[in-house]
Amino acid sequence: MGFLYSQFLVTPKYPTESFAGQIIIVTGSNVGLGREAARHFSLLAVRHIASGEKAKQSIEESTGRTGVSFAERASKLPRIDVLLENAGIATRIFSLAENHERTITVNVISTFMLGLLLLPKLKATAKEIPTAKPHWTIVSSGVHAWTNLPEWKSSNTFEALDDEKNARMEVRYPTSKLLEVLVVREIAPRLADSGVILNMLNPGLCHSELAREEGWGLWFMKLVLARTTEVGSRTLVAAATVGDESHGAYMTDGKVNNAALGAFVTSEDGEKAQKKVWTELKGILEKIQPGTTSSF
Ligand SMILES: NC(=O)c1ccc[n+]([C@@H]2O[C@H](COP(=O)([O-])OP(=O)(O)OC[C@H]3O[C@@H](n4cnc5c(N)ncnc54)[C@H](OP(=O)(O)O)[C@@H]3O)[C@@H](O)[C@H]2O)c1
């Protein structure tokens, strides 16, 4: 009911804040919600600068390694006011990228890799520029509530997710979005005194290029229910401008609303899973780039 209410009756407010003088990074801003959010910010941080480069896209480009070199360049910026991590994929086709199932690599590992690599710059911005309120914002989804992540009970969650034979690809995208929620909740308290606001959001069902493989069912559902990409993107901008009350929190319809989190997230098991997946993710990130997780 909450979903239908939001889709039919709630229109997130048009952003009016000024971002003059700020440096804002929006990942995945060549199409979809990222592009519309970037239009609002009037800034772009596209992965493919020249359109011809799109053809060169490869699995290797889409991994943590790209994130590392991008982060190296971005960390030389004089300030970062907003890191809006929007890039994501939804697929039911199992494939590996950088040793992990691709959805997990793109939506989870690369997202936190880039965020943690840029955290020192976000923290420095908060410390050195009195008027700045840096935001590290992650675009999650309401579908995080569609799974209870049974894999967390295996000896290693990420290894279980990488096991093609047992992969539940029908809920892989929700699984990746749940992992984002769990990790944000686990690490946010460590940033409490940093001056950096870490939050996450659900844009609602929106028109975009996402889930292009899903077929007529989703196409029809979007036709009836989906927000335009521009309206959806307002929720991204809202999360990138909201105050301290959003730290560690989940936003939906452009407002902080932890009550909209899936029941698993706040359950006893969810809290245990949260700690376990963070410990495991830390290991993966440190293996890719030693020191990544030492910036708290
Ligand atoms: N649309 C919805 O209904 C909806 C609902 C809830 C949450 N979301 C979330 O919103 C975010 C944006 O999705 P969207 O709906 O706007 O989808 P989209 O139109 O498919 O846009 C996804 C963006 O992510 C980029 N991207 C994908 N893989 C990447 C990689 N490996 N490295 C760097 N960039 C990559 C894409 O760039 P390329 O074009 O270069 O691949 C594109 O710019 C996602 O995190 C999604 O989970 C969407």
pLDDT tens digits for range 108-126: 999 999 999 999 999 999 9
255 is catalytic: no
What atom in ligand 1 is closest to the CA of residue 222? 3
Of ligand 1's atoms, which has the minimum distance to the CA of residue 210? 20
Q: What is the mean pLDDT of the chain?
A: 90
The pTM (predicted TM-score) of the whole model is 0.93
For residue 244, being part of any structural domain is answered with yes
Catalytic residue among 5, 54, 56, 177: 177
Whether the pLDDT of residue 206 is over 50: the answer is yes
What is the pLDDT averaged over residues 74-96? 95
- Among protein residues, the one with the nearest Cα to ligand 1's atom 8 is 141
**Distance in Å, CA 129 to ligand 1 centroid:** 31
The residue ranking higher by pLDDT, 16 or 161, is 161
Measuring CA to CA, which residue among 1, 4, 16 is closest to residue 227?
Answer: 4
Q: Which of 26, 59, 57 is closest to 43 using CA atoms?
A: 26
The pLDDT of 39-46, averaged and rounded, is 65
Residue 76: inside a domain, yes or no? Answer: yes
Q: Which of 173, 250, 276, 282 is catalytic?
A: 173
CA of 89 to the centre of ligand 1 (A): 5
Any ligand 1 atom below 6 A from CB of 239: no
The encoded tokens of residue 180 equal 């984002």
Q: How many beta carbons lie within 10 A of that of residue 215, not counting itself? A: 9
Task: Report d(CA 53, CA 47) in Å as an integer.
Answer: 9
In a domain, 108, yes or no: yes
pLDDT at 66: 57
* pLDDT attached to residue 130: 92
CA angle 12–17–18, rounded 5-degree value:
150
Does residue 243 form part of some domain? yes
Quick check: CB of 28 below 6 Å from ligand 1? yes
State which residues form the domain around 275: 2-11+19-290
Cβ(62) – ligand 1 distance below 6 Å: yes
Q: From ligand 1's centre to the CA of 193, what distance in Å?
A: 31
Minimum-distance ligand 1 atom for the alpha carbon of 206: 3
What is the domain count for the chain? 1
Q: The domain spanning residue 154 has which CATH number?
A: 3.40.50.720
Please indicate, yes or no, if residue 198 is contained in any of the structural domains. yes
> How many other CB atoms are found less than 10 A from the CB of residue 26?
31
Per-residue model confidence (pLDDT) at position 54 = 40
208 lines ligand 1 (CB under 6 A): yes
Task: Render the chain in DSSP notation, one character per residue.
Answer: -HHHHHHHH--PPPP----TT--EEESS-SSHHHHHHHHHHT----S-SSGGGGGG--TTTTSHHHHHHHHHHHTTSS--SEEEE------SS--EETTEEHHIIIIIIHHHHHHHHHHHHHHHHHHH-TT---EEEEE--GGGGG---GGGGSS-HHHHHT-GGG--GGGHHHHHHHHHHHHHHHHGGGGTTSS-EEEEEE--SB-SSTTTTS-HHHHHHHHHHPBPHHHHHHHHHHHTT--GGGTT-EEETTEE-GGGS-HHHHSHHHHHHHHHHHHHHHHHHHHHSTTGGG--
Q: Is the distance from the beta carbon of residue 77 to the nearest atom of ligand 1 less than 6 Å? A: no
Active site residue 56: no
212 pocket-lining for ligand 1 (C-beta < 6 Å): no
| Closest protein CA for atom 20 of ligand 1 | 210
Q: Could you read off the pLDDT of 116-174 as tens digits, one per residue?
A: 999 999 999 999 999 999 999 999 999 999 999 999 999 999 999 999 999 999 999 99
Q: Is residue 296 part of a domain?
A: no
Q: Whose CA is nearest to atom 21 of ligand 1?
A: 32
Counting from 1 in the atom list of ligand 1, the atom nearest the Cα of 208 is: 19
Q: Report which ligand 1 atom has the smallest distance to the Cα of 90.
A: 47
Q: 31: CA distance to ligand 1 center in Å?
A: 8
Ligand 1 mean position, distance from CA 183 (Å): 19
Torsion of CA 184, 58, 173, 39, to 10 degrees: 70
